[in-house]
Homo-oligomer: A and B are copies of this chain.
Amino acid sequence: MEAFSDGVFAIAATLLILEISVDSPSQLTHIWPAYLAYVTSFLTIGIIWINHHHTVSLMGRVDRTFLFVNNLLLLTIAFLPFPTKLVGDNLQKPGERSAVLAYAATFVLMAVMHQVWWQYARRGRRLIGDNVPESALRSVDLAYAPGVVIYGIAFLVAFASPLASVLLTFAIAAFYLPSAALFDR
């Protein structure tokens, strides 16, 4: 499972760049929304990948349902290059609200799937390794808990200000996620 998951994370992050294009080099500074969306999506995928990896290391077994849920989680992550391009192409332009709503909705979906993925493994220690202490599980609980809420807020903010929503998503990836992440616990 890890080889396929690692591959999808690394490929999705690296494909993001293919979604940036510019008509002429003189426009290179005008397409800052594309850079902002690129950096936001890349950093988020990197951190989710680290969390995914750490959490898998706590598991002692996998089952059929979990592999299917893992596929669904990867499906949402592999989807990210599409709304990232939408934001890069449309931010500060007429269609920006729909574009950013699609972007934020993708992050909400990723957070929901990650939570489902974790709760399935953790409930009754269904897939947890025998020697893993409860404190390690609570640490993951704390790291995953706020995801749906904070991306839900970014979704709501998009109605008021699409740019503010993207900046909030960037700030989550640059400041909140790294400190909440499971990096070296």
Q: A residues touching B (Cβ–Cβ < 8 Å)?
A: 2-4, 6-18, 20, 22, 24-26, 28, 38-39, 42-43, 46-47, 49-50, 53, 62-64, 67-68, 71-72, 74-75, 78-82, 86, 90, 95-99, 102, 178, 181, 183-184
Query: How far, in angstroms, from A68 to B81 measured CA to CA in the complex?
Result: 21
Q: In the bound complex, do residue B11 and residue A78 qualify as a contact, i.e. CB atoms below 8 Å apart?
A: no
Q: This chain: how many copies in the complex? A: 4
Which chain B positions have C-beta within 8 A of A8?
10, 13-14
Distance of A108 from chain B, by nearest CB (Å): 15
CB-defined A-B contacts under 8 Å, sample of 27: A3-B6, A3-B10, A4-B9, A4-B10, A7-B9, A7-B14, A10-B11, A11-B11, A12-B14, A14-B78, A15-B15, A18-B81, A25-B90, A25-B96, A25-B97, A25-B99, A26-B95, A26-B98, A39-B75, A42-B71, A43-B71, A43-B72, A46-B71, A47-B68, A63-B184, A64-B181, A68-B183
A15–B18 touching, CB < 8 Å: yes
- Which residue from chain B places its CB closest to the CB of A99 in the assembled complex? B25
CA distance A43 to B95 in the complex (A): 31
Measured between alpha carbons, how far is A99 from B22 in the docked complex, in Å?
Answer: 11
A71 to B50, CA, bound (A): 10
**Which of A2, A7, A17, A90 is packed against the most chain B CB atoms within 10 Å?**
A17
* Contact indicator A78/B181 (Cβ below 8 Å): no
Q: Which residues of B contact A9 (CB under 8 A)?
A: 4, 7
In the assembled complex, the Cα of A120 lies from the Cα of B160 at a distance in Å of 40
Known: A3-B6, A10-B8, A18-B18. Is A95-B64 also a contact (CB below 8 A)? Answer: no
